[in-house]
A = this chain, B = another copy of it.
Amino acid sequence: MGGDHGPPVTVAASLRFLAANPGAKILLVGQRAALEAALPRRAGAPAARLEVRHAAEAVAMDESPAAALRNKKDSSMRVAIDLVKRGEADACVSAGNTGALMAISRFVLKTLPGIDRPAIVSVLPSMTGSTYMLDLGANVDCGPEHLLQFAVMGATLVAAVEHKERPAVGLLNIGEEAIKGNEVVKEAGLLLRASGLNFIGNVEGDKIYRGGVDVVVCDGFVGNVALKTSEGLAQMLGKFLREEFTRNALTKLAAVICYPVIAAFRRRVDHRRYNGATLLGLRGIVVKSHGAADLVAYERALERAAEEVRNGVLARITERLAVAPAAGDAPPASEAAL
């Protein structure tokens, strides 16, 4: 039922998305009364491509994934994922409970052949463009073979969505030398070097934002910490900048004068432009929006799902895994390599 802000945000974002995507259709899943109440009276033409599907229950943001899976058979989340399973929808977008979304998706959709565990992937801004990073929190204890699978899926996603033929893949580590890191990472490095991917080696944390790498692979614990740490730092810097500009009458005047500059800077690093993390490795496209997403952010998550559908991400990953299973002992034929 739409994360922290509910239907007022998700319905409005859906209408904007439909206006921008004339070929698209949205099935809004949730409590019919609440969804219809959020629909404006004169929604215009796009509203014709928006259909409400009733679901009586909703998964709470703090509900345990296991409980949500077991007890909420008629939750909006479950009904939406069932629509993907039945082929009635091409993708599911949710701003709800991440753990529950992953658990229900895994249960209903299953993983792709060759994939043990789905991963959460998101795109982050960098000095030279953008960086895809996975896993961001679905898997807290990964083996080397899981990191290899993440790399294959991430590279295929970037190849499909960003139209880069051989995306550069880096392994997140605490030094660039191959001997650095813990045992899992060292072993994953060996698998990646033999994978046929465009593996550029170990990358340190700063590389995520410096750029020059398309896909950064790490286990979900490390990835989640890196992501949350970034959120905290960005918020602190934003707060300090605001405080300096509102310190006194003179600094407030300076703020007015350089408003366009600061606004341009803010637009450039606006995290809403990066909203929408994909649950990658499932037999269906599932995109998780930030729970606190506003209209702009939620529309971006819808766009992300649509991009993945348009670019046939699922078929491409399936194909890649069939040609070259994500295991280090089976390097792909070179012409099929990403």
Q: Is A234 in contact with B233, judged by CB distance below 8 angstroms?
A: yes
- Residue A208 lies at the interface, judged by CB distance under 8 Å to chain B: yes
- Residue A172 lies at the interface, judged by CB distance under 8 Å to chain B: yes
Q: Mark A246-271, 1 if CB is under 8 A from B, else 0.
A: 01001100110110111011001100
- Residue A127 lies at the interface, judged by CB distance under 8 Å to chain B: yes
A211-246 residues at the B interface, CB under 8 angstroms: 218, 220-222, 224-237, 239-241, 244-245
Knowing A126-B236, A209-B232, A227-B205, say if A182 contacts B258 (CB, 8 Å): no
Cα–Cα distance between A209 and B233 once the two chains are bound (Å)? 6
Main secondary structure of the interface of A (DSSP, over half): helix
Most buried by B among A140, A230, A233: A233
Residues in chain B near residue A255, CB distance under 8 A: 258, 261
Q: Is A205 in contact with B228, judged by CB distance below 8 angstroms?
A: yes
Q: Is B226 in contact with A240, judged by CB distance below 8 angstroms?
A: no
A304-327 residues at the B interface, CB under 8 angstroms: none
- Residue A16 lies at the interface, judged by CB distance under 8 Å to chain B: no
- Residue A125 lies at the interface, judged by CB distance under 8 Å to chain B: yes
- What's the minimum C-beta distance from A259 to chain B, rounded to whole angstroms? 9
Q: Is A204 in contact with B228, judged by CB distance below 8 angstroms?
A: yes
Residues in chain B near residue A183, CB distance under 8 A: 141
- Residue A335 lies at the interface, judged by CB distance under 8 Å to chain B: no
Q: Is A224 in contact with B237, judged by CB distance below 8 angstroms?
A: no
Knowing A205-B226, A226-B229, A234-B233, say if A261 contacts B268 (CB, 8 Å): no
Cα–Cα distance between A230 and B260 once the two chains are bound (Å)? 27
Q: Mark A49-70, 1 if CB is under 8 A from B, else 0.
A: 0000000000000000000000
Cα–Cα distance between A206 and B227 once the two chains are bound (Å)? 8
Residues in chain B near residue A251, CB distance under 8 A: 258, 260-261
Pick from B185, B229, B258: contact of A209, CB below 8 A.
B229
- Closest residue of chain B to A253, judged by CB? B257
- Residue A331 lies at the interface, judged by CB distance under 8 Å to chain B: no
A153-194 residues at the B interface, CB under 8 angstroms: 172, 174, 181-183, 185
- Residue A96 lies at the interface, judged by CB distance under 8 Å to chain B: no
Cα–Cα distance between A247 and B143 once the two chains are bound (Å)? 47
Residues in chain B near residue A237, CB distance under 8 A: 234, 237, 269
Q: Is B269 in contact with A261, judged by CB distance below 8 angstroms?
A: no
Q: Is B209 in contact with A174, judged by CB distance below 8 angstroms?
A: no
- Closest residue of chain B to A207, judged by CB? B232
Q: 24 A-B residue contacts at CB 8 Å?
A: A126-B236, A127-B236, A172-B225, A174-B220, A181-B221, A204-B225, A205-B225, A205-B232, A206-B228, A206-B231, A208-B229, A208-B232, A210-B232, A221-B222, A225-B225, A237-B237, A237-B269, A241-B265, A244-B264, A247-B264, A250-B260, A254-B258, A255-B261, A257-B257
